[in-house]
Protein backbone atom coordinates (compact mmCIF):
# COMPACT_ATOMS: atom_id res chain seq x y z
CA UNK A 1 0.00 0.00 0.00
CA UNK A 2 1.16 3.56 -0.63
CA UNK A 3 1.47 6.08 2.17
CA UNK A 4 1.54 9.87 1.91
CA UNK A 5 4.88 10.38 3.62
CA UNK A 6 7.83 8.45 4.94
CA UNK A 7 10.79 9.33 7.13
CA UNK A 8 12.91 7.56 4.56
CA UNK A 9 11.70 9.20 1.33
CA UNK A 10 14.28 11.47 -0.29
CA UNK A 11 13.24 14.66 -2.03
CA UNK A 12 14.68 15.24 -5.49
CA UNK A 13 17.14 18.10 -5.94
CA UNK A 14 18.64 19.61 -9.08
CA UNK A 15 22.39 19.89 -9.25
CA UNK A 16 22.98 23.44 -10.48
CA UNK A 17 26.73 23.75 -10.44
CA UNK A 18 29.90 22.11 -9.17
CA UNK A 19 33.35 23.51 -8.51
CA UNK A 20 36.59 22.11 -7.12
CA UNK A 21 37.46 23.05 -3.57
CA UNK A 22 40.58 20.90 -3.23
CA UNK A 23 41.84 17.89 -5.20
CA UNK A 24 39.57 15.71 -2.98
CA UNK A 25 36.64 17.99 -2.30
CA UNK A 26 34.00 19.58 -4.50
CA UNK A 27 31.33 22.16 -3.89
CA UNK A 28 27.81 21.25 -5.05
CA UNK A 29 25.15 23.92 -5.55
CA UNK A 30 21.68 22.43 -5.31
CA UNK A 31 18.04 23.39 -5.28
CA UNK A 32 14.99 21.34 -4.43
CA UNK A 33 13.21 20.22 -7.61
CA UNK A 34 10.00 21.95 -6.50
CA UNK A 35 11.97 25.22 -6.05
CA UNK A 36 10.98 25.49 -2.38
CA UNK A 37 13.44 26.45 0.29
CA UNK A 38 15.28 23.71 2.16
CA UNK A 39 14.29 25.34 5.45
CA UNK A 40 17.53 24.59 7.24
CA UNK A 41 19.49 26.38 9.95
CA UNK A 42 23.28 26.66 10.22
CA UNK A 43 24.78 23.47 11.62
CA UNK A 44 22.18 21.04 10.26
CA UNK A 45 22.85 18.22 7.82
CA UNK A 46 21.06 16.27 5.13
CA UNK A 47 21.16 12.64 4.02
CA UNK A 48 22.27 12.61 0.41
CA UNK A 49 21.46 9.67 -1.89
CA UNK A 50 21.80 8.50 -5.45
CA UNK A 51 19.65 5.70 -6.89
CA UNK A 52 21.29 2.30 -6.48
CA UNK A 53 23.84 3.63 -4.03
CA UNK A 54 23.66 4.32 -0.34
CA UNK A 55 22.97 7.46 1.66
CA UNK A 56 25.55 9.64 3.40
CA UNK A 57 25.16 12.43 5.94
CA UNK A 58 26.52 15.70 4.58
CA UNK A 59 26.67 19.05 6.38
CA UNK A 60 24.97 21.98 4.73
CA UNK A 61 27.72 24.45 3.88
CA UNK A 62 25.60 27.51 3.09
CA UNK A 63 23.43 29.82 5.13
CA UNK A 64 19.62 29.89 4.86
CA UNK A 65 20.00 33.63 4.40
CA UNK A 66 21.30 32.93 0.85
CA UNK A 67 17.94 31.82 -0.58
CA UNK A 68 16.64 28.47 -1.81
CA UNK A 69 19.93 27.41 -3.41
CA UNK A 70 22.06 25.52 -0.92
CA UNK A 71 25.60 24.18 -1.04
CA UNK A 72 27.42 21.06 0.09
CA UNK A 73 31.17 20.57 0.31
CA UNK A 74 31.80 16.85 -0.24
CA UNK A 75 35.04 14.88 -0.01
CA UNK A 76 35.45 11.98 -2.44
CA UNK A 77 35.71 9.10 0.01
CA UNK A 78 33.61 6.13 -1.15
CA UNK A 79 31.25 4.80 -3.80
CA UNK A 80 28.50 7.35 -3.25
CA UNK A 81 30.72 10.42 -3.05
CA UNK A 82 32.84 9.20 -6.00
CA UNK A 83 29.66 8.88 -8.07
CA UNK A 84 28.55 12.29 -6.86
CA UNK A 85 31.85 13.83 -7.98
CA UNK A 86 31.18 12.51 -11.50
CA UNK A 87 27.79 14.22 -11.82
CA UNK A 88 27.26 17.15 -14.17
CA UNK A 89 24.90 20.08 -13.65
CA UNK A 90 21.31 19.08 -14.35
CA UNK A 91 21.61 15.75 -12.54
CA UNK A 92 19.06 14.80 -9.90
CA UNK A 93 20.17 14.01 -6.37
CA UNK A 94 18.01 12.76 -3.50
CA UNK A 95 18.10 14.38 -0.09
CA UNK A 96 16.37 13.81 3.23
CA UNK A 97 16.34 16.43 5.91
CA UNK A 98 17.43 18.92 7.06
CA UNK A 99 18.18 17.04 10.26
CA UNK A 100 19.69 17.75 13.64
CA UNK A 101 20.08 20.43 16.22
CA UNK A 102 21.61 23.55 14.65
CA UNK A 103 24.09 26.01 16.13
CA UNK A 104 22.36 27.84 18.98
CA UNK A 105 22.29 31.27 17.36
CA UNK A 106 20.66 33.01 20.32
CA UNK A 107 23.57 32.06 22.55
CA UNK A 108 26.09 33.29 20.00
CA UNK A 109 24.72 36.82 19.79
CA UNK A 110 25.94 37.95 23.21
CA UNK A 111 29.63 38.62 22.54
CA UNK A 112 32.71 37.91 20.44
CA UNK A 113 32.76 34.62 18.53
CA UNK A 114 35.63 32.25 17.90
CA UNK A 115 34.67 30.04 14.97
CA UNK A 116 37.26 27.26 14.82
CA UNK A 117 37.36 24.62 12.08
CA UNK A 118 39.72 21.84 11.14
CA UNK A 119 39.76 20.10 7.75
CA UNK A 120 36.26 19.39 6.41
CA UNK A 121 34.81 21.07 9.49
CA UNK A 122 34.84 24.35 7.63
CA UNK A 123 31.87 23.16 5.55
CA UNK A 124 29.25 23.27 8.35
CA UNK A 125 30.95 26.26 9.94
CA UNK A 126 30.73 28.15 6.62
CA UNK A 127 26.97 28.07 7.01
CA UNK A 128 27.31 29.95 10.30
CA UNK A 129 29.99 32.31 8.95
CA UNK A 130 27.73 33.27 6.03
CA UNK A 131 24.87 33.81 8.48
CA UNK A 132 27.08 36.17 10.53
CA UNK A 133 28.16 37.93 7.32
CA UNK A 134 24.58 38.45 6.22
CA UNK A 135 23.31 39.65 9.60
CA UNK A 136 26.27 41.58 11.00
CA UNK A 137 24.08 43.70 13.25
CA UNK A 138 23.16 40.62 15.29
CA UNK A 139 26.70 39.54 16.16
CA UNK A 140 29.83 40.90 17.84
CA UNK A 141 33.39 40.44 16.62
CA UNK A 142 33.85 37.24 14.64
CA UNK A 143 37.24 35.48 14.62
CA UNK A 144 37.61 32.58 12.16
CA UNK A 145 40.43 30.12 12.77
CA UNK A 146 40.87 27.38 10.21
CA UNK A 147 43.43 24.59 10.18
CA UNK A 148 44.25 22.09 7.44
CA UNK A 149 47.05 19.65 6.72
CA UNK A 150 48.60 21.66 3.87
CA UNK A 151 47.79 24.75 1.79
CA UNK A 152 46.35 22.49 -0.92
CA UNK A 153 43.91 21.02 1.63
CA UNK A 154 42.41 24.38 2.57
CA UNK A 155 38.74 24.26 1.53
CA UNK A 156 36.75 27.29 0.34
CA UNK A 157 39.83 29.29 -0.66
CA UNK A 158 37.74 31.94 -2.41
CA UNK A 159 35.67 32.42 0.72
CA UNK A 160 38.77 32.54 2.89
CA UNK A 161 40.15 35.33 0.70
CA UNK A 162 36.89 37.29 1.02
CA UNK A 163 36.73 36.77 4.77
CA UNK A 164 40.36 37.83 5.17
CA UNK A 165 39.65 41.07 3.28
CA UNK A 166 36.49 41.77 5.27
CA UNK A 167 36.52 44.55 7.86
CA UNK A 168 33.95 42.72 9.93
CA UNK A 169 35.67 39.35 10.09
CA UNK A 170 39.06 38.30 11.41
CA UNK A 171 40.04 35.20 9.46
CA UNK A 172 43.27 33.25 10.02
CA UNK A 173 44.48 29.96 8.63
CA UNK A 174 47.12 27.52 9.74
CA UNK A 175 48.51 24.38 8.12
CA UNK A 176 50.51 21.47 9.53
CA UNK A 177 53.21 21.83 6.92
CA UNK A 178 54.04 24.18 4.04
CA UNK A 179 55.77 22.86 0.91
CA UNK A 180 58.92 24.78 -0.02
CA UNK A 181 57.51 26.18 -3.26
CA UNK A 182 54.19 27.25 -1.76
CA UNK A 183 52.97 30.83 -1.98
CA UNK A 184 50.84 30.25 1.14
CA UNK A 185 51.13 33.21 3.47
CA UNK A 186 49.15 32.01 6.48
CA UNK A 187 50.39 30.42 9.69
CA UNK A 188 52.04 27.04 10.14
CA UNK A 189 51.35 24.91 13.20
CA UNK A 190 48.38 23.45 15.02
CA UNK A 191 45.19 25.31 15.88
CA UNK A 192 45.97 25.68 19.64
CA UNK A 193 49.14 27.57 18.71
CA UNK A 194 47.22 29.89 16.39
CA UNK A 195 44.63 30.36 19.12
CA UNK A 196 47.26 31.21 21.74
CA UNK A 197 48.43 34.15 19.60
CA UNK A 198 44.95 35.57 19.08
CA UNK A 199 44.12 38.91 20.66
CA UNK A 200 40.50 38.81 21.82
CA UNK A 201 38.37 39.63 24.83
CA UNK A 202 37.25 36.36 26.50
CA UNK A 203 34.46 38.11 28.43
CA UNK A 204 31.14 36.87 27.03
CA UNK A 205 33.06 35.18 24.22
CA UNK A 206 31.69 31.92 22.78
CA UNK A 207 33.63 29.41 20.73
CA UNK A 208 32.26 27.07 18.07
CA UNK A 209 34.38 24.06 17.09
CA UNK A 210 33.97 21.77 14.11
CA UNK A 211 36.66 19.38 13.00
CA UNK A 212 38.21 15.93 13.19
CA UNK A 213 38.08 14.15 16.60
CA UNK A 214 41.80 14.67 17.48
CA UNK A 215 41.29 18.43 17.21
CA UNK A 216 38.83 18.83 20.05
CA UNK A 217 40.71 18.16 23.28
CA UNK A 218 43.82 20.30 22.58
CA UNK A 219 41.70 23.18 21.27
CA UNK A 220 39.31 22.96 24.23
CA UNK A 221 42.27 22.95 26.65
CA UNK A 222 43.66 26.10 25.03
CA UNK A 223 40.26 27.81 25.04
CA UNK A 224 39.91 27.13 28.76
CA UNK A 225 43.41 28.42 29.39
CA UNK A 226 42.40 31.60 27.58
CA UNK A 227 39.39 32.06 29.84
CA UNK A 228 36.51 30.28 28.12
CA UNK A 229 35.57 28.21 31.13
CA UNK A 230 32.14 27.42 32.53
CA UNK A 231 28.90 26.34 30.94
CA UNK A 232 27.62 27.44 27.54
CA UNK A 233 30.95 28.85 26.40
CA UNK A 234 32.09 26.18 23.91
CA UNK A 235 29.77 24.70 21.29
CA UNK A 236 30.89 21.86 19.06
CA UNK A 237 29.55 19.83 16.19
CA UNK A 238 30.32 16.11 16.26
CA UNK A 239 30.70 13.88 13.25
CA UNK A 240 29.24 10.37 13.40
CA UNK A 241 27.86 7.78 10.98
CA UNK A 242 24.29 9.07 10.91
CA UNK A 243 21.92 6.72 9.07
CA UNK A 244 18.23 7.32 9.79
CA UNK A 245 18.73 10.98 10.74
CA UNK A 246 15.81 10.95 13.16
CA UNK A 247 17.19 9.26 16.28
CA UNK A 248 15.80 5.78 15.67
CA UNK A 249 18.48 3.50 14.31
CA UNK A 250 21.18 3.97 16.93
CA UNK A 251 24.12 4.11 14.52
CA UNK A 252 25.25 7.49 15.81
CA UNK A 253 24.59 6.92 19.52
CA UNK A 254 26.85 8.58 22.04
CA UNK A 255 25.74 6.87 25.27
CA UNK A 256 22.12 8.06 25.70
CA UNK A 257 22.30 10.70 22.96
CA UNK A 258 21.66 10.35 19.25
CA UNK A 259 24.15 12.51 17.40
CA UNK A 260 21.69 12.97 14.51
CA UNK A 261 18.76 14.30 16.52
CA UNK A 262 20.17 15.43 19.90
CA UNK A 263 23.15 16.89 17.97
CA UNK A 264 25.24 17.16 15.92
CA UNK A 265 25.72 20.49 17.71
CA UNK A 266 26.24 20.22 21.46
CA UNK A 267 27.47 22.43 24.25
CA UNK A 268 30.73 20.99 25.51
CA UNK A 269 29.33 20.21 28.96
CA UNK A 270 26.60 18.05 27.40
CA UNK A 271 29.09 15.58 25.92
CA UNK A 272 32.43 16.10 27.65
CA UNK A 273 31.91 13.29 30.15
CA UNK A 274 30.24 10.86 27.75
CA UNK A 275 32.52 8.00 26.79
CA UNK A 276 33.58 8.05 23.19
CA UNK A 277 32.21 11.53 22.54
CA UNK A 278 35.48 13.43 22.20
Partner 1 sequence: MTQALIAKTKLADLVSFLASCGKVVGPVPLGHGQFKFAEVSSLAEMALDYIPTILPPKKYFMPQYETLLRYDGADGQQMQAVVEVEELVLFGVHTCDLAGIQCLNVVFSDRPRDLHYMIRKNHITLIGLECSDYCDGFASCAMLRNHLPKGGYDLFFSELSDGYFVDIKTHKGEQLVEESGLFEPVSDAAREQLQELRRSKKQIFRSEVPIRYQDIPRLFDETFDSDVWTRIGEKCLSCGNCTNVCPTCY
- Binding-site residues from annotation for [2Fe-2S] cluster: 244, 249, 252, 260
Residue 6 contacts partner 1 per CB under 8 A = yes
Between 93 and 128, CB nearer to partner 1: 93
What sign has the CA pseudo-torsion 270, 276, 277, 278? positive
Each residue 129-148 as x (binds partner 1 by CB under 8 A) or -, in order, gives --------------------
Instruction: Return the residue of 4, 23, 90, 230 that touches partner 1, per CB under 8 A.
Output: 4
- DSSP assignment of 205-246 equals -EEEEES-HHHHHHHHHHHHHTT--STTSEEEE-----SSSS
Between 8 and 79, CB nearer to partner 1: 8
Nearest distance, CB of residue 43 and partner 1, angstroms: 19
Rounded CA-CA distance 278/271 in Å is 8
Nearest to 114 by CA among 75, 147, 156: 147
CB 113 within 8 A of CB 142: yes
Radius of gyration of the chain (CA): 18
Instruction: Return the residue of 19, 33, 65, 177 that touches partner 1, per CB under 8 A.
Output: 33
Residue 88 contacts partner 1 per CB under 8 A = no
Instruction: Return the residue of 54, 65, 92, 196 that touches partner 1, per CB under 8 A.
Output: 92
For partner 1, which stretch binds (CB under 8 A), given 3-11, 116-124, 125-133, 264-272? 3-11
Nearest to 101 by CA among 59, 54, 49: 59
Judged by the rule CB under 8 A, the positions of this chain that interact with partner 1 are: 1-12, 33, 51, 92, 94, 246, 248-250, 275
Amino acid sequence: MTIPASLYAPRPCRLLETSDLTPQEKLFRLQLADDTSLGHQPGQFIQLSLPGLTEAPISIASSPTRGPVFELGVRRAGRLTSALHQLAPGATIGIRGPFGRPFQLDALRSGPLLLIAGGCGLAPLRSLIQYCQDRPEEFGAVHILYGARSPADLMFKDDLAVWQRSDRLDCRTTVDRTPAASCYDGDTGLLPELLSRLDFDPTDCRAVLVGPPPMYRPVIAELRRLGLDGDRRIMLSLERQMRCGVGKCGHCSIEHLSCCSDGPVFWLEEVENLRGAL
